[in-house]
Amino acid sequence: MGETAAADAADTAQTSRTDARKAARAERRAAKLAREIGSFAKEHGGAEGQLAYIGEAGARIVLVGQDGAWGDLVAPTYAVAENAVEKAGITVHEEFDGDFALKVRTGPYEWSRMAGIQVGGPSNDS
């Protein structure tokens, strides 16, 4: 084997090891997110979700519990988010609208944060 062929083989082996480490890291992240989704679902009588691509930051996993509680998680990539919800076994909606959006229950805190001073929420002046 010539020097060029040996160097190419070494580069290929290094790339394979790097790809394997990235894949293992993505798998661990998906498993961790799946456990967090499972905990949320257990605490709220089940859960459904929706995935949203948020650019370089990755993907947002919005969760809505059967009791109307909601929360979200961020995955480093859309693929990791898809893997996490699949591992968690929750129903995933294409859009956050209609019947799915109606399941969300908000309290006074959310209303004051969303509406702000327009409806008597805390002002931004301190």
Q: pLDDT per residue over 22-81, tens digit each?
A: 999 999 999 999 999 999 999 999 999 999 999 999 999 999 999 999 999 999 999 999
pTM above 0.85, yes or no: no
How many CB atoms sit inside 10 A of residue 77's CB?
16
Q: How confident is the model over 83-110, as pLDDT tens digits?
A: 999 999 999 999 988 889 899 988 887 7
Per-residue DSSP letter, 119 = G
Asked whether residue 125 carries a pLDDT value surpassing 60, the answer given is no
Q: Would you place residue 5 in the very low, low, confident or very high pLDDT band (cuts 50, 70, 90)?
A: low
Which residue did the predictor score with more confidence, 44 or 13?
Answer: 44
What is the rounded CA–CA span in Å between residue 15 and residue 34? 28
pLDDT above 50 (res 126): no
CA-based nearest residue to 53, from 32, 72, 75 = 75
CB 51 within 8 A of CB 61: yes
SS3 content of the chain, % helix, strand, coil (to 5): 55, 20, 25
